[in-house]
Chains A and B, each alone.
Chain A
Amino acid sequence: MSPPLLGVEGQDQCNVSLMASSASVDTVSQNGLGLKERNYLGLSDCSSVDSSGVSSVPEENKNNLNLKATELRLGLPGSQSPERDPDFSPLSSVKLDEKQLFPLVPSKDGICLLSPKTVVSGNKRGFADTVDGFLESKSTIFTEGNWIFNAAGSDTGSKLAGNMLSHRSSGTQSTIKTDVPAKASQECDNKINGSNTNSAPAAKAQVVGWPPIRSFRKNTLASTSKNNDEVDGKPGPGTLFVKVSMDGAPYLRKVDLKTYSTYQELSSALEKMFSCFIIGQCGSEGAPSRETLSESKLKDLIHGSEYVLTYEDKDGDWMLVGDVPWEMFIASCKRLKIMKGSDAIGLAPRAVEKSKVRN
């Protein structure tokens, strides 16, 4: 399996990392995408240095946040900071099984095929060093096997993990090549901004002309979405974020109603989102301890007696979720609230009954 990855990507990691504690696996996993760490062209190589701890625990790597790597900072993500561990050894294992996936004709004679690529770390000091090396290497580009060993500013820790191409060649060539500085910084921008989604879409610097869509289409989609959406205050086209509050929870959450198509989906998503609070609440009420609380019990708590899902509609009334067709619900829902059964008297008959039973 591929070695644990360097750098962090995913939809709202910046948000999550800033507000969550290090062990907030659930807040991360509620994001349907899960965490995928990406290694762009070695830009995040230095962040890999920091995540050496992460890389040694493959099972957890998907959920562990490399918080330092996601910290918003002015420099490129790979910028060295003093705390980073310089002893991180590069992932040098060559992915030989990649070759079997597609047995192409082996290297032609006389063509120097690509060999392991080392990308200079993205830190600014290295940039200046590489420029000269890059220009130099171009002049000898045709000489077979005569790649210039460019040691400009490249740390041992900056071998590009995910970009090993040596499996094709004999592997004896240990040539190193520099990345294109301009390209690097552009990708850098993408990467920084790629992780900055839900919070501030306006702040995301778009690469000009990417994705390659005709501006006519872009403009039309933008204005069409505005027409279709009936609820105000959404950040972007095709989304419908509403606040979700829960009694007793210290903070609210937001969900995008457009990502669900049935009540069932919404309800399970909310369950996952708020499960941590329910565990906490049970604990404080002297209910069974955390370890013995099973998933089914959680479901019981939400579906069953304790909680009722309600929403505030356009007229400002609090309604029980589930009465109207899904599309109508989406069109009129302004916010959601998970109410305790005891508070929901007057909204749902069964909740009333249950609270009577408990009393």
Chain B
Amino acid sequence: MCLFQSVMNYFPEEVLEHVFDFLTSHRDRNAVSLVCKSWYSVERFSREKVFIGNCYAVDPERLIARFPRVRSLTLKGKPHFADFNLVPHDWGGYVYPWIEAMAKNGINLEELRLKRMVVSDESLELLAKSFPNFKSLVLVSCDGFSTDGLAAIASNCRFLRELDLQENEVDDRKGQWLSCFPDTCTSLVSLNFACLKGEASVAALERLVARCRNLRSLRLNHAVPLDTLQKILVQAPQLNDLGTGTFVHDPDSDAYCKLKNAIKKCKSIRSLSGFLDVNTRCLPAVYPICTNLTSLNLSYAPGIYSSELIKLICHCKKLERLWILDTIGDKGLDVVASTCKELQELRVFPSDLYGVGNAAVTEEGLVAVSAGCPKLNSLLYFCQQMTNAALITVAKNCPNFIRFRLCTLDPTIPDAVTNQPLDEGFGAIVQSCKGLKRLSVSGLLTDQVFLYIGMYAEQLEMLSIAFAGDSDKGMLYVLNGCKKLKKLEIRDSPFGNVALLADVGKYETMRSLWMSSCEVTFGACKTLAEKMPRLNVEIINEGEQIEASPDDRHRVEKMYLYRTLVGPRRDAPDFVWTL
């Protein structure tokens, strides 16, 4: 040991740094920094990419102090259930303090990736003006900004390579933000503005595409018409990833004919999405590129009927990732199973959110895909019904699942054939898929399923529970069994104080715990907060009178707790109490 240490000390720091360069995963880097003081020191000065899974676990000052050379920052803000309207709008997750601190401290920021954060136009302006080498902005499921902020980015980031907006709520001021890219901007590699609702300046877009010869990924919003698409494709046949705008035209027209020819020349397209507005008789134009597609996202195209979907998919033999609506039906999934042998990720979203109509998939579609696509490792499946037998079959067919998220449209529906809970089915999944990292369960479920999860899901990092379980035992099985659990989110389940308080130390090994509409009481949360000073235990009270001292026996509607190095946050709104 001593010999080893002295040998290691011989290595000049540059060598260590060089070795560490090969470590790309932040987990590896975190591990390396724990070895000894000198490694910690070398590592921290050489780390360029920092990932912060909960923006309130640390603060900007600490980030800058430890990693002064950071160039790329990934931040996540609101809890996951915020995506489903369970978290009030102004709960928090503001990016401004981070940008401000980094600007003040001369950080050479090049890349910023944010998820579920509140991003104001001021933040974007400050970002654009403070970091001359800024290259890449990726915003996923964020809100708080408008196209004015985008204009600031476009105008000021001279070396911008990537502007990727995914599913954000953007206030579209119908300004000309696309025209704000100066004529000297030729560096764009990736541009995704599919989530914008308003008109885009078509002329500016065409010019931009024409001068950015390195453009590889382009996703348009629905306001971009088909003939613009055609012109763009003529300018950029080198595209790898295309998201169409509106795909509606008269299939007998010249414009459509030109489009067909333009598409044929785009031999590098591997990823296709869009089709928000679609005339299905125009779809055949994309058949020529289907043969090489590895990724296809038609989940925003409810206008494509099952038969058309099937025709399209028949061409896609190399597909590895498929996002689709349940309009495809079980029949369509059969076709997927027999055509897409390379499929790794499947997401089937519900098309019918109001309970009208019959479009849906059942367990049959899933079984078919599992049988036909042995490489399947990631699933998000919204279905009308499910059975234990089907899940057991799926588990046997596909033992490689890393992510398995099943969502029955009726949250407590039992096995469609036997009327039993779906415990056995999910039990089979966790037992068979030894590498499972993420699991969402639904349907009628008792404590038994959590026993299975605790026993078998050894690699599980994230678990989502809704309307499941019978008693505290369920939650206890999970907390005791899943050693690698990082995020646990529970809603509308009968887990209470006993489960919450059984092992308070566990929460410091996790990133966060969310419990809403469960049985935990105010008193238990207070107890927990007292015992664990390095946790923030937040109670979210919306619409209720804030009592001076609520009864300890009062049930808590929403609780979010997370480990943190920096104590209670100072930007919490009135309705959030940190105990």
Contacts and interface: CB of A to CB of B under 8 A. Distances in A.
B352 A114 contact: no
Contacts of A141: 471-473, 498
Contacts, number: 219
A101 B392 contact: yes
A302 to B, nearest CB: 23
A212 B84 contact: yes
A211 interface: yes
A5 B447 CA distance: 23
Given A2-B419, A114-B447, A218-B353, A261 B306 contact: yes
B16 to A, nearest CB: 43
Contact of A38 (B303, B357, B419, B421): B419
A216 B168 contact: yes
Contacts of A165: 421, 423, 446, 448
A194 B418 CA distance: 20
B519 interface: yes
Contacts of A2: 417-420
B300 A212 contact: no
A164 B423 CA distance: 11
B424 A102 contact: yes
A190 interface: yes
Contact of B428 (A102, A162, A213, A220): A102
Interface residues of B, number: 84
B350 A225 contact: no
B327 A220 contact: no
A214 B300 contact: no
A271 to B, nearest CB: 18
Contacts of A227: 277, 303
A243 to B, nearest CB: 16
B448 A238 contact: no
Given A138-B498, A237-B302, A238-B359, A40 B276 contact: no
A204 B354 contact: yes
B81 A164 contact: no
Nearest to B303: A228
Given A163-B420, A214-B83, A237 B411 contact: no
Contacts of A137: 471
Interface in A19-38: 32-33, 36, 38
B303 A224 contact: yes
A136 to B, nearest CB: 12
B355 A201 contact: yes
Given A138-B472, A180-B519, A224-B300, A237 B444 contact: no
A163 B491 CA distance: 21
A39 interface: yes
A56 B222 CA distance: 56
Interface in B200-223: 222
A289 interface: no
B487 to A, nearest CB: 15
B103 interface: no
Contact of A216 (B141, B301, B448): B141
A237 B354 contact: yes
B126 interface: no
A209 interface: yes
A194 B409 CA distance: 10
B492 A236 contact: no
B410 interface: yes
A2 B444 CA distance: 16
B67 interface: no
A232 B446 CA distance: 44
Interface of A: 2, 5, 11, 32-33, 36, 38-41, 95, 98, 101-102, 104-105, 111, 113-114, 117, 137-139, 141-142, 161-165, 168, 177, 179-180, 182-183, 186-187, 190, 193-194, 196-198, 201, 204, 207-218, 220-222, 224-225, 227-228, 235-239, 256, 258-259, 261-262, 327
The 6 nearest A-B residue pairs measured at CB:
A162-B419, A209-B84, A228-B303, A236-B356, A180-B494, A239-B357
Interface of B: 81, 83-86, 141, 167-169, 195, 222, 276-278, 280-281, 299-303, 305-307, 327, 349-359, 382, 388-389, 392, 407, 409-421, 423-425, 427-428, 431, 440, 444, 446-448, 451-452, 455, 464, 466-467, 470-473, 491-494, 496-498, 517, 519
16 contacts: A32-B358, A40-B413, A102-B425, A104-B427, A104-B431, A187-B411, A204-B354, A210-B84, A212-B407, A214-B83, A215-B83, A221-B302, A224-B301, A238-B351, A259-B357, A261-B307
